[in-house]
Structure 1
Amino acid sequence: MGNRIAIVADRVGWEERRLIAAAPDHGLHIEWVNDESLCLGDPHAASLADHDAVMIRSRSYTRGGLLAIQAQASGLRTLNSAEAIQACENKLTLRTVLQRADVPVTDFRLVLSRRDFEKALRELEPPVVLKPVFGGMGKRVTLVRHGDTAQSVYDYVEDLGHGFEQACLVEPFLDGGTSVRCFVVGGELVAAAEFAGAGGDWRSNAALGNRNRALDHDPELTKIVDNVVAALGEGIYGIDLFRTPDGYVVNEVNHAPAFRTITDATGADIPTAVIRYLQEILA
């Protein structure tokens, strides 16, 4: 049946169904493997032994990186690489990797305590965005507009967070109301779209179903995408950027990006692009 690829994830969503359905037309077989039932550790683990490659698409921002380490150690071609997934899962690690590669990133302060938080507010000044180091899809990202509410907001981090959940970043609020999502396959920019907040939600996250429009692949955007790929290695990425008066800055890079919304905005055939990349690396 040709090369067998496992999509390792906690569920089969719209994107996974499209990839599974498109694979046979290109001589591949893609199937879902539940990321909760792999029990990896044995280099010859039976749960992945019959596959030529694995695509890590776990929604968990800790599980994916751990599974990638073991799959890669077993000699399986892993997308993305364990190193890239771990960098994307941790917003602090990602910013550090990109800064070292001279990729412009959103200004930030690491907050591990209330003292850190108070100092960050003095250095950046509200409005600021408070976000967890680990997490995605816009979850637990909070806009702090005024200093007089900041301490109450941090009470929730301090009292309800546990362990790594209390690790946060404080960033300036870039009040443009929009963000840019670039979908990358291998080293190629396949699609780019601009997302704007919907209704009363200030977050311009593609996962939230916001307004969108296709963007041209201008040279500045392409250069940043090329530099991100050079820093993380080729793979499948959703790169989120903000446009500022000084140019684009990278906000986040998603290692298991959704693509339904950007497909609607641009008409790009992302499943075919992904499958052709799989063919290329398995050749």
Structure 2
Amino acid sequence: MGGNIAIVSDRIAWEERELIRSADAFGLHIEWVDDGALCLGDPDAASLADYDAVLVRSRSYTRGGLLANIAEASRIPTLNSAAAINACENKLVLRDLLRTAGLPVPDFRLVLSRRDFEKALRELPLPLVLKPVFGGMGKRVTLLRDADTAQSVYDYVEDLGHAFEQACLVEPYLEGGSVRCLVVGRELVAAARFTSGGTDWRNNAALGNRTESVAHDPEVAKLVDGVVDVLGPGIYGIDLFGTPSGFVVNEVNHAPGFRGVASVTGADIPSAVARYVREVVG
């Protein structure tokens, strides 16, 4: 039975330290591996040869999927799967997968140009949210309250972003906070509601928003099950927004931060992850 696990990420944060600390109780040895120093490509993957599985926690929205793809090609079990990570890294692909499966997602428009952007402004009522297709942690997500400001904001997207960064989604602004669901395997381990704090309107755990525990909700549980049916079992942070007609799935994070959820719910998320990794590696 294997138990030597690599956490592949760009840095060690609170979550990685807690995962490493919890590993011994489950017969695992987990250590950090710099995601920028693997030099993968050789089918024998020498830099990962000593590991029984790879836990991909790269915060980069390009590195994670690339590393998972090539690790899987070298026959190294990867958590999450390369397919799941690639879907989570691309908000457009993820929403298409979820919507095709019949899961509710916010209305949106793909914006690749100024013409796209202006058409989106005509089709969707203000206020709107402009967000990059590739990105996370609330970065570069902008609230557009009026059309004049919107045009000025898009100047920055158009002039400062490379083609990769210019791919954006425009969607209605949904008030009322978000629910972050921490999933391990197929289990909903904990859920917490995030609402914006201070002058920052964004509901994102990485921004230190106000947090409260969420009791069991059958609607939330059903949506979580649906997302896992689409992506496969794994370790996810699933973000839901409430609307008058029910929750919608906004995003799924393949390398979720969970300090805020753990602190407000008391859930032992690191142990849940270690237990799941133990089951996967056998």
Q: TM-score range by the shorter chain?
A: over 0.9
Whole-angstrom CA distance in 1 between matches of 2:58 and 2:255:
7
- Say if 1:124 and 1:171, in contact at 8 Å, map to a contact too: yes
Whole-angstrom CA distance in 2 between matches of 1:203 and 1:110:
21
- Say if 1:184 and 1:237, in contact at 8 Å, map to a contact too: yes
- Say if 1:130 and 1:141, in contact at 8 Å, map to a contact too: yes
State the structure with bigger RCO (CA 8 A, min sep 6), 1 or 2.
Answer: 2
Whether 1:216 aligns to 2:190 is no
TM-score (norm 2): 0.99
Task: Give, as a single letter, the amino acid of the residue that structure 2 aligns with 1:280.
Answer: E
1:122 corresponds in structure 2 to 122
Whole-angstrom CA distance in 1 between matches of 2:222 and 2:277:
24
Aligned positions of 1:102-251 closer than 5 A: 102-176=102-176, 178-251=177-250
Whole-angstrom CA distance in 2 between matches of 1:12 and 1:111:
34
Number of aligned residue pairs: 282
Aligned positions of 1:48-127 closer than 5 A: 48-127=48-127
Percent of pairs with identical residues: 72
1:268 corresponds in structure 2 to 267
Structure 2: gaps (5+ residues): none
Whole-angstrom CA distance in 1 between matches of 2:12 and 2:279:
24
Q: 3-state DSSP class of the match of 1:47?
A: helix
- Say if 2:110 and 2:167, in contact at 8 Å, map to a contact too: yes
Task: Give, as a single letter, the amino acid of the residue that structure 1 aligns with 2:231.
Answer: L
Please give the root-mean-square deviation of Cα atoms over the aligned residues, in Å: 0.9
Q: 3-state DSSP class of the match of 1:251?
A: strand
- Say if 1:87 and 1:94, in contact at 8 Å, map to a contact too: yes
Whole-angstrom CA distance in 2 between matches of 1:18 and 1:238:
17
Whole-angstrom CA distance in 2 between matches of 1:68 and 1:159:
32
- Once the two structures are TM-superposed, the CA of residue 2 in structure 1 deviates from its matched residue by 5.3
Runs of 4+ in 1 over 2 A off after TM superposition: none
TM-score (norm 1): 0.98
- Say if 2:103 and 2:249, in contact at 8 Å, map to a contact too: yes
1:258 corresponds in structure 2 to 257
Whole-angstrom CA distance in 1 between matches of 2:18 and 2:174:
34
- Say if 1:2 and 1:27, in contact at 8 Å, map to a contact too: no
- Once the two structures are TM-superposed, the CA of residue 38 in structure 1 deviates from its matched residue by 0.4
CA displacement 1:98-135 (0-9 Å, x = unmatched): 01111111110000000000000111121000000000
Structure 1: gaps (5+ residues): none
Task: Give, as a single letter, the amino acid of the residue that structure 1 aligns with 2:273.
Answer: V
Whether 1:30 aligns to 2:18 is no
